[in-house]
Chains A and B, each alone.
Chain A
Amino acid sequence: MAWETVIGLEVHVQLATKSKLFSGSATTFGAEPNTQANVFDLALPGTLPVLNGEALRMAVKFGLAIGAHIGKKSVFDRKNYFYPDLPKGYQTSQLDHPIVGKGSLTITLDDGTSRTIGVTRAHLEEDAGKSLHELFPNDTGIDLNRAGTPLLEIVSEPELRSAKEAVAYLKKLHSLILYLGISDGDMSQGSMRCDANVSVRQQGDSKFGTRAEIKNINSFRFVEKAILIEAQRQIDILEDGGRIIQETRLYDPDRNETRSMRSKEVANDYRYFPEPDLLPVVIDDAFIAAVKTTLPELPDLKSQRFQSHYGLSEYDADVLSADRATADFFEVVANACGDAKLSANWVMGDLQSVLHKSELDIAHSPVSAHALADLISRIKDNTISSKIAKTVFEAMVNGEGSADTIIESKGLKQVTDSGAIEKLIDTIIAANPKQLEQYRSGQDKVFTFFVGQVMKESKGKANPAQVNDILLNKLKK
């Protein structure tokens, strides 16, 4: 019996607006509880919502980036339920007329193949506050700072067929929202949340199986594990002849299992009806066109351009274009020093190591793009070798100055005077007659010994290419 997993993802993205979706309260993360909740957020009597235009623009921007239909007339609806972190007793969301309609996202899998995944819709809604159960002995603390923050709920078609695909989709989505600058997409802080709808069916079956919804998974890794374990749970039940119950489940990363969330019968009748305190949102072509001008070059196009314009490999282009800041950084370096390949290597290699180790993002790189370009230029003009460049780079990271300053102060200039190198080589050869005999008798490996000695004697400064050439010549005789 071959089983197929069917996954649809609902991703909630917290939009990076300065104020909330319907009120002017600040949205900064980490403030003291209930210091960012005004009379509207507290749902005091008589308060009314006013739509945040920036949130609307961000939603449209996202829609354009995924090639989606933009709803020229979208409507907000009230979703009614009682919970202490939902002050009004209803959440203002969008049901039948969302701001963004059908679009798609193309994902690349590990084996290099691409798949286009449909996005059903994306809509705006307000976030709820936070319920803190652990802080108080017998009570729950309600923090309404988050209540009213704008969310964009992005719903995929149930077209994902494996946990790996789901992660690829999520990562692509994550990269895209950062690219657009509409969210910081930080899953650990909750600015990007993922619910996974998982079902299984027999290979070849066209009907969908009953799905379970796994809510609020907060890391890419957990998404993959949760889907795998849930699919297996369902398969086990079905193979035993049982039935899948449509329900909401939570993923427990400690036990690597999903658990049912519903402890009592809750009739989830949200009694949706159009929000009477807001007008339908009507936007025209001019509005959409204006938002379109704010779209950055998207990752896929950027990658293609890196390949065609800079001659990078598909892999390098994909890696560099995945993060907008990194892509921009790379281009500054490449254009300043004129060597795209070297720039790519340095950015993806040495620089990334440093950033990763110090847990910095590229915006806070200790070495600026121009400084790196200067370093690469020194390699290209033979002032230093690649190997020495690594030393110089390390010093630059430590804040010891520019490439030139460091090369000068540490006397790292490469020796390129062939006369000097020849003299050095002669000295080394003369001092090692045994090895000379060994080489001349056919032991080619001894060559590296000579290279090593020359480099050591020159304190690494001899131009390696020249050393190679001259040494080969000398040893031949």
Chain B
Amino acid sequence: MTSEMTPKMNDALKQGVAELARSLARKDFTSVELTRAYLERIDQHNPQLNAYVTVTGEQALVQAQAADQARAAGTAAPYAGIPFAHKDIFCTSGVRTACGSRMLDNFIAPYDATVVEKMRQAGMVMLGKTNMDEFAMGSSNETSWYGPVKNPWNHTLVPGGSSGGSAAAVAAHLCPAATATDTGGSIRQPASFCGLTGIKPTYGRISRWGMIAFASSLDQAGVLTRSAEDAAILMQMMSGFDPKDSTSVDVPVPDYLATLDQPLKGLRIGLPKQHFAVGLNPEVEKQIRAALSEFEKQGAVLKEISLDNSHLSVSAYYVLAPAEASANLSRYDGVRFGYRCDKPVDLEDMYKRTRGEGFGDEVKRRIMIGTYALSAGYYDAYYIKAQKVRRLIKDDFDRAFREVDVIMGPTSPHTAFPLGSKTKDPVTMYLEDIYTIAVNLAGLPGLSVPAGLVNGLPIGLQIVGRDFSEAQLLNLAHRFQQATDWHTHTPGV
């Protein structure tokens, strides 16, 4: 088989979603050619990066073919035929959905998640399922049953987690965009570590039907891309009320592309003093402040604010998320699907060994923490208390948004860290999400844009808005990307 890697196709692999739509419309190349090029590149580079767990080559070509035919007939949807990847947390009918776990290594989902169905209806071409921290529990993509993912910027470093596979794939041009999920920072932090634009919308904006649950009241789907414009395109496809998800919100989806260019004169940007304090790498801070001055140039006003209960967010999260997870993961018992231990002698043996062998250490750790926090005698002191703290954290944001329109700061205290450097003490890993976690607790939308390089490694600027202000966040990110070029920096691979 001949290589697809002509100079033209090499160029095509650099294009984002918006550009690809134009190229395909112009018939610069076909969707099949494009898909083949991506598959070839994945074949070449995935063994090192381990970004993809499952590559759906045959299916992708069938989808690409269908898109080409539709395009020829003039009936193609605007983004039909553009390849992308799904985080392996979304159920894809007929395709293995493993969620980074041995427990689901043999699980072929019998149905499509709503997100998956929407992408399919848009005609997008699924290249495969990306690697992730097991059951979305992690901040470095090191807990996956399928092995760690490497950061394309430097293979000795982590890409971030839990959506590390999606981030690495997009950063290494193994797909132009990838779906992802964020419970405590799992889209934004990898975006920061890999130089990508990643958005986690308001809780309830995107349907959770078919999205394997970690922490029900915190999980939210989103996307990792190389530009705000691309993020807007995918957000448009993915968002919307879904009656199958009782926590999905019936709020109309605006046209995210229509407002991308809006000027931001007079915008009031809040800078939480807690996010610019001890723990933030000084080099990162410098880049962030430089990025913020870009907004000032465009007419925004910076204002220091205080999120008083910031320091409690990680603790509250690490009571609530494991508590919900401990119940969400009870269904993995070897009875109806998934991993089952070999030759169980009785019910208890089956439960114990299936779950003992099927789950990795971090998952087991969190199940135990969650079970403990919910148990008799501890429920009030831990679970109830954490819920109260959550309310305080939400109130902090509500109060802040009376004075400012958006909140900005560093996504992560530092650049990507070395593989294996934080796996000894779980708490050091938990502190990775120190700036991102509160956003999930408050259910607010948050986005990370590439805002600089520190020692050659990307760092991200986090932008947080009020409920359902995704259009505004994308607009700010887009305006920033029109004035800067951090988002165009990609690693060599």
Residues of A within 8 A of B (CB): 39, 42-51, 78, 80, 82, 84, 87-90, 142, 269, 271-273, 276-279
Tell me, in angstroms, the Cα distance from A87 to B328 when the chains sit together: 11
Complex contacts, B468 vs chain A, CB 8 Å = none
Closest to A273 in B: B374
Cβ B331 vs Cβ A82 within 8 A: no
Closest to A39 in B: B111
Does B351 make an interface contact (CB < 8 A)? yes
Tell me, in angstroms, the Cα distance from A142 to B330 when the chains sit together: 17
Complex contacts, B330 vs chain A, CB 8 Å = 80, 82, 88-90
Shortest distance from the beta carbon of B420 to any chain A beta carbon, whole Å: 29
Cβ A46 vs Cβ B211 within 8 A: yes
Other-chain residue from B104, B107, B212, B331 in contact with A87 (beta carbon distance below 8 A): B331
Complex contacts, A278 vs chain B, CB 8 Å = 246-247
Closest to B338 in A: A45
Does B53 make an interface contact (CB < 8 A)? no
Tell me, in angstroms, the Cα distance from A84 to B335 when the chains sit together: 7
Cβ B336 vs Cβ A279 within 8 A: no
Does B371 make an interface contact (CB < 8 A)? yes
Other-chain residue from A39, A269, A273, A276 in contact with B110 (beta carbon distance below 8 A): A39
Does B381 make an interface contact (CB < 8 A)? no
Given the known inter-chain contacts A89-B330, A271-B379, A273-B327, please indicate yes or no for A46 contacting B246, CB distance below 8 A.
no
Cβ A82 vs Cβ B351 within 8 A: yes
Does B153 make an interface contact (CB < 8 A)? no
Apart from A44-B336, A47-B209: 18 A-B pairs, beta carbons within 8 A: A42-B336, A45-B91, A45-B99, A46-B113, A46-B213, A48-B209, A48-B245, A50-B243, A50-B246, A78-B327, A80-B326, A82-B333, A87-B335, A90-B327, A142-B335, A273-B327, A273-B374, A279-B246
Other-chain residue from A42, A87, A88, A276 in contact with B217 (beta carbon distance below 8 A): A276
Closest to A84 in B: B335
**Would you call the interface of chain A mostly helix, strand, loop, or mixed?**
loop
Q: Mark B331-353, 1 if CB is under 8 A from A, else 0.
A: 10101110000000001000100
Tell me, in angstroms, the Cα distance from A293 to B37 when the chains sit together: 66
Shortest distance from the beta carbon of A120 to any chain B beta carbon, whole Å: 22
Complex contacts, B259 vs chain A, CB 8 Å = none
Cβ B246 vs Cβ A277 within 8 A: yes
Cβ B324 vs Cβ A48 within 8 A: no
Q: Mark B185-213, 1 if CB is under 8 A from A, else 0.
A: 00000000000000000000000111111
Shortest distance from the beta carbon of B181 to any chain A beta carbon, whole Å: 11
Given the known inter-chain contacts A269-B376, A271-B375, please indicate yes or no for A46 contacting B333, CB distance below 8 A.
no
Complex contacts, B397 vs chain A, CB 8 Å = none
Given the known inter-chain contacts A48-B244, A48-B246, A279-B246, please indicate yes or no for A88 contacting B210, CB distance below 8 A.
no
Would you give 20 A-B contacts (Cβ < 8 Å), ordered by A?
A: A43-B336, A46-B109, A48-B244, A48-B247, A50-B243, A51-B246, A78-B327, A80-B326, A80-B374, A82-B351, A88-B331, A90-B330, A269-B375, A271-B371, A271-B374, A276-B217, A277-B246, A278-B246, A278-B247, A279-B247
Cβ A80 vs Cβ B327 within 8 A: yes
Does B383 make an interface contact (CB < 8 A)? yes
Cβ A273 vs Cβ B336 within 8 A: no
Cβ B244 vs Cβ A45 within 8 A: no
Tell me, in angstroms, the Cα distance from A50 to B326 when the chains sit together: 21
Closest to A34 in B: B336
Tell me, in angstroms, the Cα distance from A269 to B379 when the chains sit together: 11
Does B65 make an interface contact (CB < 8 A)? no
Cβ A273 vs Cβ B379 within 8 A: yes
Shortest distance from the beta carbon of A266 to any chain B beta carbon, whole Å: 11
Does B216 make an interface contact (CB < 8 A)? yes
Shortest distance from the beta carbon of B345 to any chain A beta carbon, whole Å: 11
Does B323 make an interface contact (CB < 8 A)? yes
Shortest distance from the beta carbon of A38 to any chain B beta carbon, whole Å: 9
In this complex, the member of A47, A51, A87, A269 whose beta carbon has the largest number of chain B beta carbons within 10 angstroms is A47
Given the known inter-chain contacts A84-B335, A89-B327, please indicate yes or no for A46 contacting B379, CB distance below 8 A.
no
Tell me, in angstroms, the Cα distance from A88 to B337 when the chains sit together: 12
Closest to A44 in B: B337
Tell me, in angstroms, the Cα distance from A45 to B215 when the chains sit together: 13
Complex contacts, B412 vs chain A, CB 8 Å = none
Cβ B213 vs Cβ A50 within 8 A: no
Tell me, in angstroms, the Cα distance from A277 to B212 when the chains sit together: 13
**Interface size, B (range):** 35 or more
Tell me, in angstroms, the Cα distance from A47 to B109 when the chains sit together: 11
Closest to B218 in A: A276
Does B50 make an interface contact (CB < 8 A)? no
Tell me, in angstroms, the Cα distance from A49 to B331 when the chains sit together: 14
Interface residues of B in 81-111 (CB under 8 A from A): 90-91, 97, 99, 104, 107, 109-111
Interface residues of B in 301-335 (CB under 8 A from A): 323-324, 326-327, 330-331, 333, 335
Tell me, in angstroms, the Cα distance from A272 to B90 when the chains sit together: 28
Cβ B210 vs Cβ A46 within 8 A: yes
Given the known inter-chain contacts A89-B333, A142-B335, A271-B379, please indicate yes or no for A45 contacting B97, CB distance below 8 A.
yes
In this complex, the member of A47, A142, A273 whose beta carbon has the largest number of chain B beta carbons within 10 angstroms is A273
Complex contacts, B247 vs chain A, CB 8 Å = 48, 276-279
Shortest distance from the beta carbon of A75 to any chain B beta carbon, whole Å: 13
Cβ A45 vs Cβ B246 within 8 A: no
Complex contacts, A43 vs chain B, CB 8 Å = 331, 336
Shortest distance from the beta carbon of A373 to any chain B beta carbon, whole Å: 50
Tell me, in angstroms, the Cα distance from A48 to B217 when the chains sit together: 12
Complex contacts, B213 vs chain A, CB 8 Å = 45-46, 277
Tell me, in angstroms, the Cα distance from A269 to B372 when the chains sit together: 11
Shortest distance from the beta carbon of A43 to any chain B beta carbon, whole Å: 4
Complex contacts, B91 vs chain A, CB 8 Å = 44-46
Tell me, in angstroms, the Cα distance from A276 to B216 when the chains sit together: 6
Tell me, in angstroms, the Cα distance from A278 to B245 when the chains sit together: 9
Shortest distance from the beta carbon of A189 to any chain B beta carbon, whole Å: 25
Complex contacts, B215 vs chain A, CB 8 Å = 276
Shortest distance from the beta carbon of B354 to any chain A beta carbon, whole Å: 11
Shortest distance from the beta carbon of A136 to any chain B beta carbon, whole Å: 14
Cβ B337 vs Cβ A50 within 8 A: no
Other-chain residue from A42, A44, A269, A273 in contact with B323 (beta carbon distance below 8 A): A273
Complex contacts, A273 vs chain B, CB 8 Å = 323-324, 327, 374, 379, 383
Tell me, in angstroms, the Cα distance from A49 to B99 when the chains sit together: 21
Tell me, in angstroms, the Cα distance from A48 to B211 when the chains sit together: 9
Q: Mark B247-258, 1 if CB is under 8 A from A, else 0.
A: 100000000000
In this complex, the member of A43, A46, A47 whose beta carbon has the largest number of chain B beta carbons within 10 angstroms is A46
Tell me, in angstroms, the Cα distance from A142 to B90 when the chains sit together: 28
Complex contacts, B383 vs chain A, CB 8 Å = 273
In this complex, the member of B110, B331, B379 whose beta carbon has the largest number of chain A beta carbons within 10 angstroms is B331
Complex contacts, B246 vs chain A, CB 8 Å = 48-51, 277-279
In this complex, the member of B211, B324, B333 whose beta carbon has the largest number of chain A beta carbons within 10 angstroms is B333
Cβ A277 vs Cβ B327 within 8 A: no
Closest to B350 in A: A84
Tell me, in angstroms, the Cα distance from A51 to B244 when the chains sit together: 10
Cβ A87 vs Cβ B216 within 8 A: no
Given the known inter-chain contacts A43-B331, A45-B331, A82-B333, please indicate yes or no for A277 contacting B211, CB distance below 8 A.
no
Shortest distance from the beta carbon of A96 to any chain B beta carbon, whole Å: 12
Tell me, in angstroms, the Cα distance from A296 to B323 when the chains sit together: 45
Shortest distance from the beta carbon of B386 to any chain A beta carbon, whole Å: 11
Shortest distance from the beta carbon of B379 to any chain A beta carbon, whole Å: 7
Given the known inter-chain contacts A89-B327, A90-B327, A277-B216, please indicate yes or no for A45 contacting B208, CB distance below 8 A.
no
Closest to B323 in A: A273
Tell me, in angstroms, the Cα distance from A273 to B324 when the chains sit together: 9
